[in-house]
Structure 1
Amino acid sequence: MSKAAVRDAEVIATRLDEIQDRVRQMIANGTLQPGERVNEQALAAKLGVGRNSAREALRALERSGLVRIIPNRGAEVRKVSLEAALDLYDIRAGIARTAGRLAATRLEAEEEGRLLELLEQMEAALNNRDGGTYHQFNNAFHDHLMAITKNPRLIELNNTIEAELSLYLRKGVYTMAQMQLSHAEHSALVEALRNGKVAEAADCFESHILTGKQRMLDTVTRSAPHP
């Protein structure tokens, strides 16, 4: 293959990634709702891309669990039930245990500094009672933790699980008390990582995800309509 052909292929791949990210963001912010049909032509027009590009992006998002493509009907945003969300949390907890173990053995000084910076930013958001900003830094914190593992396949698996969970987690709003407990768990995890305590880091990260599962259940219970 010529260098020009390679460059063209790279440009196309990058463009498709950008389109996927834009559709993923539309799902995350509720522009596209779980269960909603996605018209390829309308989506392509909205994004200013070709219909084939929109179709390929939807196919890629199907592989990541965000979209379901039904033969002869087209694509729709997936719905995730409570039961499925609980199963996903259990899988995510197993991934977190492995991630904690790997991160404790592979943490570098620059990465440690970034973890501490994110902790401070989350702390400031909590002090300002700014839940939206806290969640942004929380997501960045988890992404950074996974990056520290330096295990691309583990990161890919985790991203897939988190993408599916995001379809359910948008239904609830966590309380300030819940976010404060989550932050305390972050701090304990970072302390274990900084001290190279491999087993403790694995336990802390797994426990953090499982207590997150319980926080999600508490949120669903709290927001459920009363008879």
Structure 2
Amino acid sequence: MTKALMRNPEAIAFRLDDIRDKIRLLIQSGKLKAGERVNEQALAGQLGVSRNAARDALRSLEQSGLVTIVPNRGAEVRKVSLEDALHLYDIRAGLARTSGRLIALRITTEEERELIALIDSMGKAVEKRDNHEYHQLNEAFHRTLMQITKNPRLVSVNDALESELQLYLRQGVYTLAQMRTSQLEHRKILEAIVSGEPEFAAEAFEKHVLTGKQRMLDTTGSQPRNNSHSSDQS
């Protein structure tokens, strides 16, 4: 990379985004563990970047809620508790309701076809009992839904919540029954969207997130300290 390119603000921003994404993957995969102090020098060497670049990327990840910068200690990977995860699910449910309404109002024919293709692929993954493939397609389905809102601020807020939740969830393992239930909920969301019923789409998407919260509790075997988080399950 030439010196002129390195001084280019757009090139610098692109490079920072690339480093940040690589660190995010290390966190989400568990290679950088929750509560662990990040060795900036080692991280920089692992990524093949300068220590300053690694530090800048870590600081930007603090805004995403993935790391905490501790004075005189540096960066630590955030530790998300069960209570935090439940609060995040509740916020996601509210965003899902808003998103469902916007999607039903703004979706195009091409986007409908894209969602149908993802639903069909997920159905095949369920038939094969392929947990990993279903997980990947599920993420793609939700990512596509959010993009269809055509509201970048909403997408940004939702992405931040998803990133924080990954600190608690990592990559969950679905049972066959959970995959089938999740897939049925996806179809209900799609049906409401395609039918052009904003309120039905809003309700279906919100309910999907709330039942996802219960699936998380069932999968991890976790229980909230009181019933205030479980009373809204459908």
Q: Report the TM-score, using the length of structure 1 for normalisation.
A: 0.93
Deviations 1:97-131 (A, max 9, x none): 00000000000011111101110111111111110
Matching residue of 2:105: 105
After superposing on structure 2, the runs of 4+ consecutive aligned residues of structure 1 that deviate more than 6 Å are 4-7
* Paired residue type of 2:202: A
Q: Aligned pair in 2 of structure 1 residues 44, 7: CA closer, same or farther (>3 Å)?
A: closer
2:5/2:11 contact within 8 Å kept: no
How many residues are treated as equivalent by the alignment?
Answer: 220
1:143-182 pair list within 5 angstroms: 143-170=143-170, 172-182=172-182
Instruction: Give aligned-pair identity as a percent.
Output: 60
Matched residue, 2:28 = 28
1:43 aligns with 43
Separation in structure 1 between the aligned mates of residue 171 and residue 156 of structure 2, nearest angstrom: 24
Matching residue of 1:206: 206
What's the offset of the Cα at 1:174?
2.4
Return the alpha-carbon distance in structure 1 between the equivalents of residues 218 and 182 of structure 2.
14
Q: Are positions 1:131 and 2:166 aligned together?
A: no
Q: CA deviation at 1:220?
A: 2.1
Question: What RMSD, in angstroms, separates the aligned Cα atoms of the two structures?
Answer: 1.7
The residue identity in structure 2 corresponding to 1:113 is R
* Structure 2 CA distance for aligned equivalents of residues 23 and 97 of structure 1: 31
Tell me, in whole angstroms, the C-alpha distance in 1 between the residues paired with 2:6 and 2:44. 25
Q: Please list the CA deviations of residues 16-59 of structure 1 after superposition, one character each: whole Å capped at 9, or x if unmatched.
A: 00001101111111111111111111111000001111011101
TM-score (ref. length: structure 2): 0.90
Q: Matches of 1:191 and 1:222 in 2, distance apart?
A: 32
1:170–1:6 distance in 2 versus 1, CA, 3 Å:
closer
Unpaired segments of 5 or more residues in structure 1? none
- Is 1:119 aligned with 2:126? no
- 1:53 is matched with which residue? 53
Q: 1:45 to 1:113 in 2, by over 3 A?
A: same
Give 5+ residue unaligned stretches, structure 2: 224-234
Counterpart of 1:94 in structure 2 is 94
Tell whether the 8 Å contact from 2:85 to 2:165 is kept in structure 1 after alignment.
yes
User: Take 2:126 and 2:56, find their aligned partners in 1: how far apart are those partners?
Assistant: 40
Cα offset, 1:173, TM superposition: 2.4
Q: Give distance in 1, aligned partners of 2:192 and 2:32.
A: 40
Asked whether the equivalents of residues 6 and 12 of structure 2 are also in contact (C-alpha less than 8 Å), the reply is no
Structure 2 vs 1, CA of residues 136 and 12 (structure 1 numbering), >3 Å: closer, same or farther? same
- What CA distance in whole angstroms lies between the structure 1 residues aligned with 2:48 and 2:114? 36
Task: Give the residue type in structure 1 aligned to 2:220.
Answer: V
Q: Which amino acid aligns with 1:10?
A: E
